[in-house]
A and B are shown apart, each in its own frame.
Chain A
Amino acid sequence: MLLSLFVFVGPPAIAFPQEKITKEELLVLPGEVGRPGGRLVVSLRGEPKTLNPLIAADARSREVIGVMQADLVHINRARQQTEPALAKSWKISPDGLSYTIVLRQGLKFSDGQPLDADDVLFTFRVYLDENVHAPQRDLLIVSGKPITVRKADAHTVVFQLAKTYGVGERLFDGLAILPRHLLEKPYQEGKLGQSGSLATAADQWAGLGPFRLKEYVAGQRLVLERNPYYWKSDAQGNRLPYVDELVFLFVPNADAQVLKFQSGETDMISQLGAENFSVLSRQQRGYTMTDAGPGLEYNFLFFNLNDAGEKTSPEMQRKQKWFREVKFRQAVSAAVDREAIVRLVYQGRGAALWGLVAPGNRRWGNEKLPHPAWSFERARALLKEAGFSWSNGPNGESTLLDSDGKPVEFSILTSSSNADRAKMAALIQDDLKQLGMRVQVVPLESRSLLDRVTQSRDYDACIMGIASYDADPNSDISVWLSSGGLHLWNPSQAHPATPWEAEIDRLIEEQMSARTFEQRKKLYDRAQEILAENQPMIFLASPNILAGAKNSIGNFRPAVLEPYVLWNVEQLYLKNGTENATR
């Protein structure tokens, strides 16, 4: 059920009485062969907080950790399929409850220490330890029970699940294997949280990724150097990565990234907005911009459907009466000019959305989902059916009134740091004005915003965007499940509040344990249909993945899954020699 490619490379095993050198089993990557040497400079939008996967909660730290660590099974970002990584091969038992993973032999960490099954055991023990509070813990709990790990021999590990898990081996993607020889002592002393800070000495930290720590200059840059023990090679047997150094420059925001790329200070750029992309595309001097096509991000408008019982203020109760009416939500959805959003916010580099699964997800989208056109007439008809009416004001504008004669007014929250969503909010505000609704747009910092939506639940409506980190539906499970923390319109429910939410819960749970792709797709399609019928989230648009790189960078193949340009960093190389061409 898998392809195992391994080639024996390196000096033949000579057994000395003291050390036993096992042959290294490298992973050979197909594709273009590059030339070694040189330095790659990329910009990071902010500073990472730590190098330790156990405490990294922010996106920047994860970006950096991604090139310094490695996982057992990896999802190839271009093909969106799994492939062996540190695991040479794996076998899933017929009942789907146990995964036997065989490690590659002879591998070493970036400090030269050998890797074996004990490291894997230690890693998962730490991930699952409740006192460590690792963010990875939640990924390893299937049907309420944590995965168990046991060692079969020095290079084989067996994972046991409580219930079959449709995701399968995708589970292991991103779970870095930690060095036991460095972290066991801090773990026992309870000081794991302090390991791997950016100030750590380069020789005190190790990983299995293509790069290892070289130097950190606070507020300016993080310099990584090539891991000489990296376990991948190219088709000609050269050990990867090609470049000698990878430098992360800390820039404060997206525009600074653009400036640095334009001036030649950085070699690649990703996570570009459409406007910056067109500015860079105007004069492509020495670099090429690429539109990788639709990504996995979905932006949506949702209403506050929480049920706070007696604690709800009368004003909120009145508003929720409108929000709970499905025709109201359908009317709002009909009034939104998605085409204008794609044109004015994404400059055409995006797609209108009517469902959660963005066009970048080729396997899982439900093609039969209806895409109703933008129509104020249909919106007004729906509102009339729901008991709303209009009154004419003194200036000729009409106001929408509910069945009690009160005007329909509410506010939409949006993140103040995201210019795209702020624009969407302004467009929607104008659209809803045509229906007679008076909408205020309230920009709020993203932390405060999240607090309002998930904790205090004190808001009317909100526009948010989520980028799935994997094409598999399970990556969005906390959005689908009514008990999920990202089930934004009514998060963390004890019991499903509506029959359709209960139905979605059932479908999603079932597809989680289904064994075949066809079974899962059928269930997932149905869940998407129910979502479309009830419109708790009014989907808006999804941007394309835009990136660019200097022409001197070889093997540059941006993907639509994160990390967009660094996913194949070990294969990137500099075409014209070792000097990094600037300006």
Chain B
Amino acid sequence: MRYLVRRLGHAFFLLAGASVLAFLFTALAPGTYFDEMRLNPQIAPETVAALRAQYGVDKPLPLRYASWLNSVLHGDMGFSFAYNGPVAPLLVVRARNTLLLTITSTLFAWAIALPLGVWSAERLGRLSDRLLSWGTAVLLVIPDLALALGLLIVAVRSGWFPTGGMASVDFETLSPANKLRDLALHMILPVTALVLSTLPLLVRHVRASVADVLDAPFLLAALGHGIPKRTLLYRYALPAAANPLISLFGFSIGVLLSGSLLIEVVMSWPGLGPLLLEAILARDLYVVIGGMLFSTFFLVGGNLFADMLLYWADPRIRAESNAR
């Protein structure tokens, strides 16, 4: 119980620290949204200055942070200059799109990585294992930038896949079945890119952890007892190897919001990434801070989740923390 409380407090501290850092960064950057109006020959500088004062851009820093923190605790993450409305709804919509992408690809990646890794660990050193190692190595060394761009070129040249965006024009008018199909079509490319970029590392870690465990004496004993190979691998070896994998899983959860930025930008997927990029360019302060915090929240939350899972799954940790 104490462990739980300690980890929660720890997470809260991280979030607070991250929020201060994030706020400081964006607040110190020059340039605000109202400069867009400046380029319009019709609007005079005085109007713009009046609007700047109205939105409180010229107040001192601590006051701005305090008022922002206040609104966050009330569920409202600040005010977006560009969209003339609260930040939270914006983030929620975009985060939902991003999560759609990343949860799908994380599930796919883990669903492929686990069996592949176990299979490879079982055949350690043999040809099939070496081929897989080389395969993952090749994927690992191709930067995800090259992957995303390459897939985009394929899409554009072949015309099989929609190149960008999340839905077609007629989306609202389609039947539910067709809506799903349309969404799936749009998701194929970005999900493939994400899976291909995260898969190799996962496979390697699974393989390494399981391979480590396969040497253990208790497994030899179990084998001696006549337990079938498949059960052995999945019900005995994998749980024993789970420790580092759970941490990795926690990390996968942690980057659910932030890991897909480049792919979203390249493939024009309307997620959190492009919103944040646009907001950074537009100096829309509160959107940037809100987005950063959202991602940090997920990262911290992911680690917390991993810690919890580890505590539940691994008796050694329970014993250790209870002994303290």
Q: Is the CB of A479 within 8 A of B41?
A: yes
Q: Is the CB of B93 within 8 A of A218?
A: yes
A389 within 8 Å of B (CB atoms):
no
In the complex, what distance in Å separates the CA atom of A582 from the CA atom of B162?
A: 14
Indicate whether A252 sits within 8 Å of B268 (C-beta atoms), given known contacts A447-B282, A451-B31: yes
B156: chain A residues at CB < 8 Å are 259
Most-contacted residue by chain A among B36, B165, B166, B169 (CB, 10 A) = B169
B171 within 8 Å of A (CB atoms):
yes
From A41, A451, A479, B32 is in contact (CB under 8 Å) with A451
Binds A, one of B45-53, B143-151, B189-197: B45-53
Q: Is the CB of B283 within 8 A of A448?
A: yes
Most-contacted residue by chain A among B84, B164, B283 (CB, 10 A) = B84
Most-contacted residue by chain B among A133, A139, A449 (CB, 10 A) = A133
Indicate whether A417 sits within 8 Å of B281 (C-beta atoms), given known contacts A58-B36, A446-B36: yes
Most-contacted residue by chain A among B38, B274, B281 (CB, 10 A) = B38
In the complex, what distance in Å separates the CA atom of A494 from the CA atom of B297?
A: 50
User: What count of chain B residues pass the 8 Å CB interface test?
Assistant: 47
In the complex, what distance in Å separates the CA atom of A233 from the CA atom of B39?
A: 36
A57 within 8 Å of B (CB atoms):
yes
Q: Is the CB of B35 within 8 A of A468?
A: no
Q: Is the CB of B40 within 8 A of A135?
A: yes
In the complex, what distance in Å separates the CA atom of A21 from the CA atom of B41?
A: 42
Q: Is the CB of B164 within 8 A of A445?
A: no
A451: chain B residues at CB < 8 Å are 30-32, 35
Q: Is the CB of A477 within 8 A of B31?
A: no
Q: Which parts of A262-311 form the interface with B (CB within 8 Å)?
A: 263, 265-266
Q: Which residue of A lies closest to B163 (CB)?
A: A259
In the complex, what distance in Å separates the CA atom of A36 from the CA atom of B79?
A: 43
Q: Is the CB of B35 within 8 A of A486?
A: no
A321 within 8 Å of B (CB atoms):
no
In the complex, what distance in Å separates the CA atom of A247 from the CA atom of B38?
A: 29
In the complex, what distance in Å separates the CA atom of A454 from the CA atom of B281?
A: 18
Most-contacted residue by chain B among A47, A139, A448 (CB, 10 A) = A448
B291 within 8 Å of A (CB atoms):
no
Q: Is the CB of B38 within 8 A of A133?
A: no
B29: chain A residues at CB < 8 Å are 448
From A47, A138, A260, A450, B38 is in contact (CB under 8 Å) with A450
Q: Is the CB of A448 within 8 A of B54?
A: no
In the complex, what distance in Å separates the CA atom of A50 from the CA atom of B83?
A: 8
B135: chain A residues at CB < 8 Å are none
A218: chain B residues at CB < 8 Å are 93
In the complex, what distance in Å separates the CA atom of A256 from the CA atom of B270?
A: 12
A253 within 8 Å of B (CB atoms):
yes
Q: Mark A488-503, 1 if CB is under 8 A from B, else 0.
A: 0001100000000000
B231 within 8 Å of A (CB atoms):
no
B165: chain A residues at CB < 8 Å are 251, 256, 260
In the complex, what distance in Å separates the CA atom of A345 from the CA atom of B239?
A: 60
A49 smallest CB distance to B (angstroms): 5
Indicate whether A454 sits within 8 Å of B42 (C-beta atoms), given known contacts A133-B50, A259-B164: no
A476: chain B residues at CB < 8 Å are 41
In the complex, what distance in Å separates the CA atom of A452 from the CA atom of B42?
A: 20
Indicate whether A447 sits within 8 Å of B283 (C-beta atoms), given known contacts A247-B169, A256-B164, A452-B30: yes
Q: Is the CB of B163 within 8 A of A50?
A: no
A253 smallest CB distance to B (angstroms): 7
Main SS at interface, chain B: loop
From B84, B93, B166, A50 is in contact (CB under 8 Å) with B84
In the complex, what distance in Å separates the CA atom of A485 from the CA atom of B171?
A: 45
In the complex, what distance in Å separates the CA atom of A50 from the CA atom of B81?
A: 12
B320 smallest CB distance to A (angstroms): 48
Q: Which residue of B lies closest to A174 (CB)?
A: B42
Q: Mark A116-145, 1 if CB is under 8 A from B, else 0.
A: 000000000000000001011111000000
B18: chain A residues at CB < 8 Å are none
Q: Mark A432-466, 1 if CB is under 8 A from B, else 0.
A: 00000000000001111111101010000000001
Most-contacted residue by chain A among B41, B172, B268 (CB, 10 A) = B41
B22 within 8 Å of A (CB atoms):
no
A219 within 8 Å of B (CB atoms):
yes
Q: Is the CB of B35 within 8 A of A477?
A: no
B63 within 8 Å of A (CB atoms):
no
B167 within 8 Å of A (CB atoms):
yes
Q: Mark B60-100, 1 if CB is under 8 A from A, else 0.
A: 00000000000000000000001111000000011001000
B168 within 8 Å of A (CB atoms):
yes
Q: Which parts of B266-308 form the interface with A (CB within 8 Å)?
A: 268, 270, 274, 278, 280-283
B280: chain A residues at CB < 8 Å are 445
Q: Is the CB of A447 within 8 A of B31?
A: yes
A258 smallest CB distance to B (angstroms): 10
A53 smallest CB distance to B (angstroms): 12
In the complex, what distance in Å separates the CA atom of A158 from the CA atom of B171?
A: 49
In the complex, what distance in Å separates the CA atom of A368 from the CA atom of B84?
A: 48
Q: Is the CB of A448 within 8 A of B31?
A: yes
From A41, A139, A220, B171 is in contact (CB under 8 Å) with A220
Q: Which parts of B121-151 form the interface with A (CB within 8 Å)?
A: none
Indicate whether A256 sits within 8 Å of B36 (C-beta atoms), given known contacts A263-B162, A445-B31, A447-B281: no
Q: Is the CB of B281 within 8 A of A450?
A: no
Q: Is the CB of B35 within 8 A of A454?
A: yes
A59 smallest CB distance to B (angstroms): 8
A475 within 8 Å of B (CB atoms):
yes
In the complex, what distance in Å separates the CA atom of A55 from the CA atom of B43?
A: 12
From B30, B43, B93, B162, A219 is in contact (CB under 8 Å) with B93
B108 within 8 Å of A (CB atoms):
no
Q: Is the CB of B30 within 8 A of A49?
A: no
In the complex, what distance in Å separates the CA atom of A492 from the CA atom of B46?
A: 11
A204 within 8 Å of B (CB atoms):
no
A135: chain B residues at CB < 8 Å are 37, 40, 42-43, 47
A469 within 8 Å of B (CB atoms):
yes
A178 smallest CB distance to B (angstroms): 17
A85 smallest CB distance to B (angstroms): 19
B119: chain A residues at CB < 8 Å are none
B272 smallest CB distance to A (angstroms): 12
In the complex, what distance in Å separates the CA atom of A418 from the CA atom of B262?
A: 20
From A247, A256, A445, B268 is in contact (CB under 8 Å) with A256
A41: chain B residues at CB < 8 Å are 169
B33: chain A residues at CB < 8 Å are 447
B44: chain A residues at CB < 8 Å are 138, 478, 485
In the complex, what distance in Å separates the CA atom of A253 from the CA atom of B268?
A: 9
Q: Which residue of A lies closest to B47 (CB)?
A: A133
**A447-B31, A486-B38 provided; 4 other pairs, C-beta below 8 A?**
A58-B82, A251-B165, A260-B165, A445-B280
Residue contacts A-B, CB under 8 angstroms, 9 given? A252-B268, A416-B281, A446-B35, A447-B36, A452-B30, A454-B38, A466-B39, A492-B45, A582-B169
- For the complex of A and B, list the 9 residue pairs with the smallest distance between their C-beta atoms, beginning with the closest: A448-B31, A450-B35, A451-B31, A138-B44, A445-B281, A447-B35, A485-B45, A447-B31, A135-B43
A residues whose Cβ falls under 8 Å from a Cβ of B: 41, 47, 49-50, 55, 57-58, 133, 135-139, 197, 217-221, 247, 249, 251-253, 256, 259-260, 263, 265-266, 416-417, 445-452, 454, 456, 466, 468-469, 475-479, 485-486, 491-492, 582
